[in-house]
A = this chain, B = another copy of it.
Amino acid sequence: MSTVTGHITEIAPRSGTAFLLGKGERLTVIDPCGEQVADLLAFNRVDLDEVISSGRTLDYASRLFLTIGDPLYSNRSNVMLRIVEDTVGRHDFLLTPCSRDTFRIIYGDPSPHQGCFGNLASALAPFGIAPDRVPVAFNCFMNVAIDSTTGVLRVEPPLSRGGDHLTFLAEMDLVIGLTACAAPQSNNGSFKPIRYSIDTSKWCYT
């Protein structure tokens, strides 16, 4: 396993954050305890209408499961991030950030948590990003099994163990949104933190 370099920041269970990531910098998302999910969003820092796109990315990859070497495209078909390290190999790019409506519709919860959607919307607001601009997130470590005949999706426990991580290289200047996921189903029923670090050395960017 690669060593994670740089200052490490912790995102508390069921919360989220947002921050800048410069072109050529590397963002490492760490699952410190195992079986936890982190929803990741990316926006072009200089034109916030350019945003990460699951549809463009899956279309061009012709594959649902992304790992080392795979680019994450924007709605304008530009590469925003590229996966450069991955100690797990199973993530999701189908499902939207959990929200009050998710908990109401899927879990039947009458007084639901604001979820990753609410956490992302709150964290992104200071950057001028409105809730309606939150798209499908890249769900680090999320493990969604697919029945290829019926199309049924089943959220299973992540394959990540404590210390597993995923590293992204930024190919443009970005605003990043990141959560420690708030949905019981995603993390095998136990809310845990997520950690991240940013490597600004840019040694790896070509």
| Residues of chain A having any CB pair with chain B under 8 Å | 49-51, 53-56, 58-60, 62-65, 75-77, 94-96, 99, 101-102, 105-106, 130, 132, 134-136, 145-148, 150-154
**Smallest Cβ distance from A31 to chain B, in angstroms?**
20
> Which residues from B are CB-within-8-Å of A76?
101, 132
How many copies make up the complex? 2
- What are 16 A-B contacts with C-beta separation under 8 Å? A53-B96, A54-B54, A55-B94, A55-B96, A56-B101, A59-B94, A59-B95, A59-B106, A60-B105, A63-B150, A64-B152, A64-B153, A75-B132, A76-B132, A135-B135, A146-B148
Q: In the assembly, what is the distance between CA of A128 and CA of B112, in Å?
A: 35
* Complex partner residue of A55 from B50, B59, B63, B135, CB under 8 angstroms: B135
